[in-house]
Structure 1
Amino acid sequence: MNATEIDHAKLLIPDDGIETACAFYRDALGFGIEGMERYESGEKPFFSVRLAPGAVLHLEPDESFEEAGGGYDHIAVRVDDTIDGIEATLEDAGVEIERHLTSPVGATGVAPAVYVVDPFGYRIELKAERE
């Protein structure tokens, strides 16, 4: 088997968390929201956050949601920006940086990254792709 990349991850959110999710992922982080019409019509149980051309997060509202935990630690997202640019975007949006790493190792090598926590307790690593 030859995997080429991660296609998507599916995360549960609270039933009443849709506006909060859009405010964080779309408004603060700048990612696109897709599939809301199909979700609202009941055609599918989730909507999506477009992270990159070939990668999405599916967010599914769930009445039995409990804050993220268990075996989950984080999802890493490569961002086409410098670490300074990423940090400036987060500061402008009022998003708190949980921690900074100067040389975490990932699928594409070593690059600086910051970690943020979404409103539902999911940790997101934002990894710079440019110097």
Structure 2
Amino acid sequence: MDVTEIDHANLHIPADGVEAAVEFYRDRLGLAIENRELYESGDKPFFSVRLAPGAVLHLQPDESFEASAGDGFDHLALRVDAGIEELKSQLDEAGVDVDRELEPLGATGVAPAVYVTDPFGYTLELKAARD
């Protein structure tokens, strides 16, 4: 098997979390929301956040959602086409708090990254471009 990239990740959110998701992912992080109309019409059980041309994050509202207690899922790492200072500035302007900053090893090597938390308790590692 030759896996070339991640296609999507599927995360459950609270049933009443659609607006919080849109506000965080679209309004603060600047990512496109897709298929919301299909979710709202009942044709799909989720809507999507476009992360990159070939990658999406499916968000599935769920009546039985309970925020993780930190066991199991740890974080989703996303490569960002910006330097670390520009990335931190963008997050600051959007009102997104940085939880921590590291230089972790990932699929493309070591690069600076910041970690933020979405409204549902999921951690996103935003990995900046290497200088």
The TM-score range, normalised by the shorter chain, is over 0.9
Residue deviations 1:70-116 (CA, integer Å, cap 9, x gap): 20100000000011111001101111100001x21100111100000
The aligned counterpart of 2:92 is 91
Please give the alpha-carbon distance, in whole angstroms, between the structure 2 residues aligned to 1:30 and 1:110.
25
State the AA in 2 paired with 1:4. Answer: T
Aligned residue-pair number: 130
| Helix, strand or coil at the partner of 2:6 | coil
Give the superposition deviation at 1:129.
1.7
State the AA in 1 paired with 2:96. Answer: V
Alignment of structure 1 residues 1-131 onto 2, 5 Å: 1-68=1-68, 69-101=70-102, 103-131=103-131
- RMSD of Structure 2 on Structure 1 (CA): 0.8
| Helix, strand or coil at the partner of 2:73 | coil
Show structure 1 runs of 5+ residues with no match: none
Give the superposition deviation at 1:130.
4.3
Q: Runs ≥4 in structure 1, deviation > 3 angstroms?
A: none
% identical equivalent positions: 66
What is the TM-score normalised by the length of structure 2?
A: 0.97
What is the TM-score normalised by the length of structure 1?
A: 0.97
Residue deviations 1:52-75 (CA, integer Å, cap 9, x gap): 001110000000000133201000
State the AA in 2 paired with 1:61. Answer: P
Are the equivalent residues in 1 in contact too, given 2:112–2:130 (CA < 8 A)? no
Residue deviations 1:8-48 (CA, integer Å, cap 9, x gap): 00000001000000000001111100001111111110000
